[in-house]
Amino acid sequence: MRGDERQDCMVCHRRLVAAVWFAMSSPRILIIPGSLRTGSFNVKLAALATKELALADADVTRISLADYPLPIYDADVAKSELPPNAIRLKQLVGNHGGIFIASPEYNASITPLLKNVIDWISVVRERDEPQLYTFQNRAFALGAASPGRSGGMQSLITLRQVLAIGCRAFVVPEQMTIPNAAEAFEMNDELKDARAAAQLKLVVRKLIDYARMMGDR
């Protein structure tokens, strides 16, 4: 075998190994429900997303923001001393290649709880990190459940703008909404509508794919 042929074979082998690693790697995915309400539809959606991600062999962590209480964002406070939970949440996001957010809709927007969390995470900078570093090189996917007919679409429009424009994050183009959420779940909290269930699977699959690609940079 000539030297150039041998070199070509080595390149092909490395590409094959990289492709196999890419297909088999298990990205770390963080699930964040944007609600604390008892019986929240979006907590149910987050649980379903957790299940679908686990079935797809992702390494999944689901949190409750009740475990990370924060004061209302105040720039003066941020300059003097960051709340410990803001640092913890920033590190959680930074340790995962993908983030799925289940976003309720309040008055055609996202919840104050979720916006406050994003605002605090956005100002945490460790060592010599550039601004908004935590939101870079990872994928965000969005879902919403709402009792209304739009299924929380307005909240996702707002949330996508906050993340993509405000935080310069990559947001997966595919998303999902669950309208009439009070009637959308079975007794076991599975989705009644097969199309909604299929859309969740699609969003989860895309999140895993993008998390792998961005982690391979």
Sketch the domain layout of the chain as residue ranges: 27-215
pLDDT digits (tens, 9 = 90+) for 129-172: 999 999 999 999 999 999 999 999 999 999 999 999 999 999 99
Residue 88 has a pLDDT of 97
109 DSSP β-pair partners: 106
pLDDT at res. 103? 97
Q: What is the mean pLDDT of residues 2-28?
A: 58
What pLDDT, in 10s, does the model give residues 173-198?
999 999 999 999 999 999 999 999 99
Question: What CA–CA distance (Å, rounded) separates 49 from 47?
Answer: 5
d(CA 125, CA 123): 6
What does the CA dihedral 195, 197, 202, 208 come to, rounded to 10 degrees?
170
Burial 170-191 (b: 16+ CB within 10 A, else e): bbbebbbbbbebeebbeeeeeb
Among the listed residues 214, 210, 175, 207, the one whose alpha carbon sits nearest the alpha carbon of residue 60: 207
* CA 78 – CA 11 distance, rounded (Å): 49
pLDDT of residue 7: 63
CA atoms within 13 A on the CB side of 150: 12
- Secondary structure (H, E, C), 54-88: HHCCCEEEECCHHHCCCCCCCHHHHHHCCCHHHHH
Rounded CA separation 112/39 (Å)? 18
pLDDT single digits (tens) 36-59: 999 999 999 999 999 999 999 999
140 DSSP β-pair partners: 99, 171
Alpha carbon distances (Å) from 175 to 17, 57, 67, 77, 140 = 32, 20, 26, 35, 10
What's the whole-number mean pLDDT along residues 93-104?
A: 97
Q: What's the pLDDT at 1?
A: 59
What band does 12 get if pLDDT is binned at 50, 70 and 90?
A: low
pLDDT tens per residue, range 113-123: 999 999 999 99
Going 58 to 61 to 65 to 69, the CA torsion angle's sign is negative
The SS3 of residue 167 is coil
User: What are the C-alpha distances in Å from 11 to residues 6, 17, 19, 21, 27?
Assistant: 9, 10, 12, 15, 25
Q: CATH assignment of 27-215?
A: 3.40.50.360
- Give the model's confidence band at 19: pLDDT under 50 very low, under 70 low, under 90 confident, else very high: very low
pLDDT digits (tens, 9 = 90+) for 65-77: 999 999 999 999 9
Confidence of residue 3 (pLDDT cuts 50, 70, 90): low
**Using alpha carbons only, what angle is made at residue 197 by residues 187 and 167, rounded to the nearest 5 degrees?**
115
Percent of residues, the chain, with pLDDT higher than 70 = 88
